[in-house]
A and B are shown apart, each in its own frame.
Chain A
Amino acid sequence: MSRLEIISPEGLRVDGRRPLELRRVNSRTAVLSQADGSAYIEQGNTKCLAAVYGPREPTKRAALLHDRALINVEYSVASFSSGERKQKLRRDRRLMEIASTIKRTFENVILTTTFPRSEIDIYLQVLQIDGGALHTAINAATLALVDAGIPMTDYVCACSAGYVNNQAILDLNYLEESAEIPTLTVALLPKSGKITMLGLESRLHLDKLEPVIQLASDGCKQLKENIDATIRESTKSLAKTILQ
């Protein structure tokens, strides 16, 4: 355990939040000109940009699926995004793993059978990392997919939660993540409450799993309201331009 105090005696975290509080969320859709759908989301200091192209003809004929659309996810991280500068590798395995996790998360939600023999590309670009890059990227992808008008059964909302000092905490930032706190990332479909992605990479007592998942799920539901508001707002402004 690091020396750093994660929760102060007054019950505040390093960035001044209460344990069950999300970071400030700021999101917008239709930020890029070339993509069919795009979105930008800020969760605290973690910033992510998402672009969706498609459905369209697959670039690789071999990958074509006859009964449904192929989903392709690329996840990249800007070299200036974190504290230490990282030279981008051509095929970074860690990034590829994250991309395939995100791909699996969305495959069940997008109505892929509506577009047989076509391809949907989701490009995620993380601009700045301050913890929770994965769940921020998933939320950005949801926004961009909706902006592109791709039919989905539900939103996918993701959030992380951790457990420290006998208390579950929501939406960890970089300092908290690096303090060896067990961190759990959950992505769920808010309407049905079904969990589509779950990841935990350190030790957590089984008894504590339930409350942590519950907290992360609550976070997802809060984020859903936020994402929904952004989409409603952008749809309203879009409707205005059509009616003019």
Chain B
Amino acid sequence: MISVSERDYITKGVDVSIRADGRSRLDFRELVLETGMITQASGSCRVTLDGGTDILVGVKVEVGSIEPEVEAEEADILEDMEQMDQDDGITMVKDKDRGRIICNVECSPSATRIFEPRDIEDMCNEYSQFMNRVLNGSHGGVDLKALCIIPGSTCWILNIDVLVLDYGGNLLDAIFMATRGALHNTRIPRATVEQSDGRVEFDIADEETEIIRGWEDVPLCVSLNKIGYRHIVDAAPLEELCSSARLTVAVNRRGNLCALQKGGHGGIEPSLLAEMVQTAKQIGQTLLKRQDAALREEEERIAAGKDPIGFGAASRH
């Protein structure tokens, strides 16, 4: 819910490129990134956007069969994937030599009281499906073939569980940022395949681990919100309420466009659309650079054996 005067204030501010928190239209908020705080997970990352949004991602790897058991939920994902492949015009026959990524976005009830629980559930489902499509797609980055243990039978499954701890606008961008960070942090046990008299067996090492190949190529999302005749990046909760349309663009470090999704009820003019995609691409590149720098710092911190700060920096008083 937003009042008429609030809406007016925000729209006029966006028009002259001054937003309520002092940013200009295309400024991204300060972000804090931390990895490896959940020791029980194979990889974890927490991303906090200044003034709200707080995302925790935990990746758990497990050994599974390449042919997914047809469970209700997984069948949905598979169907979606097939549909997408048809849309792309790529004939990705169900490859028997690939691992899988299963994403699940969950919103902790503590995160917000603005929305109805049912709306939150819908939103989480939409984000989960979007992530599943992007990460399992041809430009998802992660080398799915490297996740295969025995072609045709066994593979690694990456369970990416996203937990929204606090809502402060622009969830999707933060979710992708945290996911990429968590994949950077993930270590998979080394699996060695042995062939003995016709039978293929594999052995999982206790100590040796491998990184996820291709995490660098995982795209980041940039969501642009159209307010009035202008568009802004990294919207705060009030700005999201004023926005007439949202455009989410996923870009990877090569500058390729990996996914595009339009949300919201308003329309976007074709000329503006092109401009928005261009802007998103540029912002995506700077975001990727910022994140890579932050991840390098994290690597140094972990190498130095320092404990993560956890929720230390987050006190808001």
B residues contacting A by CB (< 8 A) are: 38-41, 44, 51-52, 54, 56, 58-60, 62, 104, 106, 108-114, 159, 161, 163, 165-168, 310-312, 314-317
Contacts and interface: CB of A to CB of B under 8 A. Distances in A.
Interface string A129-141: 1100000000000
B317 A234 contact: yes
Contacts, number: 113
Nearest to B46: A127
B312 A38 contact: no
A241 B315 CA distance: 13
Contact of A237 (B41, B109, B310, B317): B317
A79 B106 CA distance: 10
Most interface-central of A32, A76, A128 (chain B CB within 10 A): A32
Nearest to A38: B110
A45 B308 CA distance: 13
14 contacts: A28-B311, A30-B317, A31-B314, A32-B165, A34-B111, A34-B113, A40-B310, A74-B109, A78-B106, A79-B159, A80-B60, A81-B58, A130-B40, A238-B317
Contact of A30 (B58, B111, B167, B316): B316
Interface of A: 26, 28-35, 38, 40, 42, 45, 47, 49-51, 53, 74, 76, 78-83, 85, 88, 121, 123-125, 127-130, 234, 237-238, 241
Contact of B110 (A83, A125, A237, A241): A125
A80 B310 contact: no
B52 A33 contact: yes
Contact of A128 (B40, B52, B104): B40
B41 A80 contact: yes
Given A32-B54, A80-B58, A123-B108, A128 B315 contact: no
Contact of A80 (B110, B111, B161): B161
B275 to A, nearest CB: 32
Given A30-B315, A81-B38, 5 more contacts: A31-B315, A79-B104, A80-B159, A234-B317, A241-B317
Contacts of A127: 38, 56, 163
Nearest to B163: A78
A33 B166 CA distance: 7
